[in-house]
């Protein structure tokens, strides 16, 4: 930048002596400077030229008949503060020189030492160039900061809008997923009021986020039987929730197999594996399906790597795992040729069947200890004989007490099915 200034240097010279002016110009030329000069001797000419000539440098004599360098310095700082001013004088006291420098003079050169003039000029112009470069850099930085702030503001606004749309989508997805869950449970016999039904249901559904990877459904299988399906999709969030919708669709599509738990899980698994193979996605879901038949006083169960449902008996008071160890098949979506087996268990009036996902017992306490499936089974066993609602609520309270304020890290789903009475007792009651 200094080279650009030196190439077309404009000098405003305040000098009343022709001889001194000639010596000054000769010294500048001898120093190799290429310049144009305007000489003035009065205040009026100085003010006119500083505006019209727009000098890069001012050389000012300190003593003139009607005007001096001190006043010229004040005027230049007021009109063009960025232009350097070098005071040139024949004899000025040290105190005056210091005062001029304090007031903004770039340098001070005695007329009998003009050999210092060119170095002083170059130094002054270099400082101007550096100041201009610094000012330009600061301006560029301000411009970049403003542009960056604008981009951040725009991006923040875009993200806020996208997040709002995402929240709206998640809210709708949550509503749709909740709509897929049963809100009225079937009764036995069909048409019976909930209070007089041979089977009575309750459920707890608590997603860890907006949408859940857990799902359950309760369907009528026949005039004397109902089926309960529960599943837990790998992972969390939207992807898992989409798969739960797929599971609901597959369950309904294969409804003609609803009376046979093993056959239903086998068919769902084959369909799911085919879909996943086409999409190239690796995914699986645990699932369990139970059919309770009050006419036959039994339940049938098939399990695909899901936590074992529990049968809570009142007579005698005990808890039975409906999927004993090594009897569950693999999770759905892994092995297309897998055939799931059906197991049968007798049931009696007042028995309670509990199906749940692993989020119910995987909660941890402050010591990072998991509540665990064993504790859960023991908790239900200790409360066997209590009314179903009281039993479930007291176990949930125990789990929350164990967690000591820690939230459930996973989706939680629990379905209870009470065998209020069997078909034989129903006939007897109707007869009376």
Are 421 and 195 in contact, with CB atoms under 8 Å apart? no
Q: What's the pLDDT at 211?
A: 80
CATH of the domain at 418: 3.60.40.10
Half-sphere exposure of 65 (CA within 13 A, CB side): 5
SS3 of the chain: helix, strand, coil, percent, to 5: 45, 25, 30
Can you tell me the distance from the alpha carbon of 269 to that of 22, in angstroms, rounded to the nearest whole number? 105
Q: What is the pLDDT of residues 226-248, one digit of tens each?
A: 999 999 998 777 888 888 889 99
pLDDT at 270 over 90: yes
Closest CA to 301 of 365, 227, 384, 233: 227
**Omega cis (within 30) before 367:** no
Assess whether 191 and 122 both reside in one domain: no
Span 406-432, average pLDDT = 69
Residue 45 lies in a domain: yes
Q: What angle do CA 233, 237, 238 make, to 5 degrees?
A: 95
Assess whether 11 and 71 both reside in one domain: yes
Q: Please tell me the total count of domains within the chain.
A: 2
Structure tokens that stand for 334 in this block? 């892994």
Q: Show Cβ contacts of residue 337 under 8 Å, excluding neighbours closer than 6 positions.
A: none
pTM (whole model) above 0.85: no
Q: What's the pLDDT at 186?
A: 94
Span 248-264, average pLDDT = 94
Percent over 90 (pLDDT), the chain: 47
Residue 163 lies in a domain: no
Assess whether 81 and 201 both reside in one domain: no
Are 73 and 82 in contact, with CB atoms under 8 Å apart? no
Q: What's the pLDDT at 335?
A: 94
Q: What's the pLDDT at 272?
A: 93
Assess whether 98 and 198 both reside in one domain: no
Assess whether 120 and 248 both reside in one domain: no
Assess whether 11 and 108 both reside in one domain: yes
pLDDT category at 3 given cuts 50, 70, 90 is: low
Q: What is the pLDDT of residues 142-156, one digit of tens each?
A: 998 988 888 988 888
Residue 165 lies in a domain: no
User: Residue 86: which domain range?
Assistant: 2-135
Would you give the DSSP letter of residue 329? B
* Residue where the block lists tokens 């006939």: 427
Assess whether 203 and 124 both reside in one domain: no
Are 359 and 293 in contact, with CB atoms under 8 Å apart? no
Assess whether 76 and 217 both reside in one domain: no
Lowest mean pLDDT, pick from 70-79, 161-170, 205-214: 161-170
CATH of the domain at 31: 3.40.50.2300
Domain boundary among 76, 111, 135: 135
Q: What's the pLDDT at 424?
A: 54
183 φ, ψ (degrees, to nearest 5): -110, -20
Q: What is the pLDDT of residues 58-105, one digit of tens each?
A: 998 888 888 888 888 899 889 888 899 998 887 667 777 788 888 888
Assess whether 129 and 276 both reside in one domain: no
Domain boundary among 97, 114, 135: 135
Q: What's the pLDDT at 6?
A: 65
pLDDT category at 279 given cuts 50, 70, 90 is: confident
Span 340-366, average pLDDT = 93
Q: What is the distance between the terminal CA atoms of the chain, rounded to a whole angstrom? A: 111
Residue 148 lies in a domain: no
Residue 112 lies in a domain: yes
- Return the exposure string of 60-99: e unless at least 16 CB atoms fall within 10 Å of the residue's CB, then b: bbbebeebbbbebbebbeeebeebbbbbbbeebeeebbee
Assess whether 268 and 402 both reside in one domain: yes
pLDDT at 429 over 50: no
* Residue where the block lists tokens 């129903």: 426
Closest CA to 333 of 419, 421, 269: 269
Assess whether 236 and 296 both reside in one domain: yes
pLDDT at 308 over 80: yes
Can you tell me the distance from the alpha carbon of 87 to that of 105, in angstroms, rounded to the nearest whole number? 7
CA 69 to chain centre: 66
Would you give the DSSP letter of residue 32? T
pLDDT higher for 6 or 269?
Answer: 269
Residue 363 lies in a domain: yes
The Cβ of residue 306 has, within 10 Å, a number of other Cβ atoms equal to 25
Residue 161 lies in a domain: no
Residue 357 lies in a domain: yes
Assess whether 128 and 213 both reside in one domain: no
């Amino acid at each position: 930048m200094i080279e650009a200034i030196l190439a077309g240097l404009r000098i405003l010279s305040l000098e009343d002596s022709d001889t001194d002016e000639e010596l000054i110009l000769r010294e500048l030329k001898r120093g190799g400077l290429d310049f144009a000069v305007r000489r003035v001797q009065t205040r009026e000419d100085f003010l006119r030229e500083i505006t019209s000539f727009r000098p890069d440098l001012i050389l000012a004599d300190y003593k003139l008949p009607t005007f001096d360098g001190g006043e010229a310095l004040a005027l230049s700082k007021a009109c063009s503060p960025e232009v350097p001013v070098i005071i040139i004088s024949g004899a000025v006291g040290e105190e005056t020189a210091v005062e001029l420098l304090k007031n903004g003079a770039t340098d001070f050169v005695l007329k009998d030492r003009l050999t210092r003039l060119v170095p002083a000029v170059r130094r002054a112009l270099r400082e101007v160039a550096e100041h201009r470069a610094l000012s330009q850099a600061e301006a560029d930085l301000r411009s970049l900061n403003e542009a960056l702030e604008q981009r951040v503001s725009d991006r923040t606004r875009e993200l806020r809008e996208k997040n709002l749309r995402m929240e709206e989508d998640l809210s709708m997805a949550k509503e749709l997923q909740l709509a897929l869950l049963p809100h009225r449970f079937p009764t036995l016999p069909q048409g019976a009021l909930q209070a007089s039904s041979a089977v009575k249901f309750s459920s707890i559904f608590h997603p860890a986020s907006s949408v859940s990877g857990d799902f359950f459904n309760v369907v009528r299988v026949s005039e004397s039987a109902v089926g309960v399906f529960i599943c837990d999709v790998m992972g969390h969030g939207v992807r898992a929730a989409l798969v739960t919708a797929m599971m609901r669709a597959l369950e309904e599509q294969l409804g003609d197999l609803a009376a046979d738990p093993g056959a239903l899980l086998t068919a769902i698994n084959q369909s799911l594996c085919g879909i996943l193979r086409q999409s190239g996605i690796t995914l699986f879901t645990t699932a369990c399906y139970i059919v309770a038949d009050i006419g036959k006083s039994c339940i049938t169960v098939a399990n695909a790597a899901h936590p074992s449902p529990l049968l809570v008996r009142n007579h005698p008071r005990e808890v039975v795992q409906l999927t004993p160890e090594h009897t569950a098949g693999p999770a759905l979506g892994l092995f297309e040729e897998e055939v799931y087996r059906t197991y049968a268990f007798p049931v009696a009036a007042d028995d309670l069947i509990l199906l749940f996902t692993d989020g119910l017992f995987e909660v941890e306490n402050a010591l990072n200890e998991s509540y665990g499936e064993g504790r859960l089974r023991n908790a239900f066993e200790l409360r066997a004989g209590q009314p179903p609602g009281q039993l479930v609520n007291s176990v949930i309270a125990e789990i929350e007490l164990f967690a000591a304020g820690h939230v459930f890290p996973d989706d939680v789903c629990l379905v209870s099915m009470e065998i209020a009475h069997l078909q034989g007792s129903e006939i007897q009651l109707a007869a009376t």
